[in-house]
A and B are shown apart, each in its own frame.
Chain A
């Protein structure tokens, strides 16, 4: 495993584009801390995010993983290009001739995906911990370590998302088209959602039924892993309550969603391998 990782790292290390994108990505992850500096002042209305409770443990785990997951597109470009470059440089062929098996080739890419996801997770963990220790109102150990499942969800979400990118990279062999293909797939999922709404619009619980179907789709299930954290925020909640709205949403990480995303991850990697086995290079 270490051998395969060092091989892949060697390929990435000298690639300027990949290096710059990775640096931007990790830079942005760190800059989540800058949210602490956001202050709004509209006359009497003052909002200082750091004081609004977004950095309170354990809420910070939820909030930061959600925000950090948005940045994953930077790494997606790295992942997709590391796959499609092998086709455009024809180095995939050379790697196989030099004695890498097709299985090892796919595994080296998958291990890299896992490594990227793991490093991101550790990064988010450290940044959140530091921010929390600075700004959180509660600093008891038991509270700090509660809700850590958001980090697990974050990790699984990244692995699933990047595996999808890897698969598309192999499938279409061109990085720009692979990213485009993922975008097209996103549109397809949303068209499917529209179709379901139209199909079941007679029903009383239309949106429940739609969600029941949608949760099995790859991008939707990855989105569901970490639900939006904003409506959970105390300040938002109390504001909503005064306006007569109430939220009955659950924000926790569902095991079923984890299972669905893990299944897709497996499928993407397996299909990448099968595709590679079948192809003549």
Chain B
């Protein structure tokens, strides 16, 4: 598999603050990565370093196996960090054609990309007249101009209203479906959960996990159960079952975390034999939020 970006022992100190601490991970072509971490965990600093706007204190990173210098590589990258930055006195089209000049690509795709983000109608309005959502969409259009090998998004839905968040997510999903490699930094877990196949979890600049989303915690999943009557006996029975690690109650729902793998069919028939008729039974993986909390708690 082709490595697009590789970080080795990256370090960044702002005075006494250790923003990025010995961070290493690789980005492979075709995957959708999420960088997860609470606010101030070093996500943006890491992206700033690989995007040539923040100087690293130590360590190395290389784009495309080191075949290109950083600024040459960035011409094949599309990136949005934090707030969209454009020239307020230029229109959308003028701003985008400036970016084409910097990236050294043709200006043919400007209209096409403006249509992707629904800004085509407003292409001749000055940037300063745009709402935040429109600015963010223009930023996405600019990042797509060169049909990038990798799209880097830092908190792309920050500060947007639900409508704007929804629009941006739809666009990201569309792009991911095309097979573009994406690196998405966010503290919004459901955002990452919905689109990412891999995650890198950082806290206080230290990497806690990097790998597939579903392998983040060694878990056999959990059952959600509901029963109309005789609940106390069901709880007792579940607690004594050998495949079940522990049982908790969340409002009306009983949550049974598994020690060993057991299918929903087996569980259902076992309980039926014991005389319990369930009104609700779901087997699922723990949510990313749960995994994330477990991970940050343990470390």
Contact = CB atoms under 8 A, between A and B. Distances in A.
A94 interface: yes
A279 B14 CA distance: 12
B157 to A, nearest CB: 19
B53 A99 contact: no
A14 B53 contact: no
A96 B85 contact: no
26 contacts: A3-B101, A7-B101, A10-B101, A14-B87, A15-B87, A89-B87, A90-B83, A90-B85, A91-B85, A93-B53, A94-B85, A94-B86, A96-B51, A96-B52, A96-B53, A97-B52, A97-B53, A97-B74, A97-B81, A98-B74, A98-B99, A99-B75, A100-B71, A280-B14, A280-B53, A280-B54
Given A15-B89, A89-B88, A98-B74, 7 more contacts: A3-B101, A10-B98, A91-B85, A94-B85, A94-B86, A104-B71, A280-B55
Contacts of B98: 7, 10-11
Interface of A: 3, 6-7, 10-11, 14-16, 85, 89-91, 93-102, 104, 277-281
How would you classify the secondary structure of chain A's contact residues: helix, strand, loop or mixed?
A: helix
Please provide the 9 A-B residue pairs with the shortest distance between their CB atoms, ordered closest to farther: A99-B75, A101-B71, A99-B74, A90-B85, A94-B85, A281-B53, A280-B54, A98-B102, A14-B90
Nearest to A104: B71
Contacts of B52: 96-97, 101-102
B239 interface: no
B97 A99 contact: no
Nearest to B84: A94
A91 B89 CA distance: 12
B103 interface: yes
B100 to A, nearest CB: 9
B73 to A, nearest CB: 8
B89 A14 contact: yes
B71 A281 contact: no
Interface in B89-128: 89-90, 94, 97-99, 101-104
B196 interface: no
Given A96-B51, A97-B51, A280-B48, A91 B71 contact: no
Nearest to B102: A98
Contact of A99 (B14, B71, B94): B71
Contacts of B48: 280-281
Of residues B14, B75, B90, which shows the largest number of chain A Cβ atoms within 10 Å of its Cβ? Answer: B90
Contacts of B104: 3, 99
Contacts of B77: 99
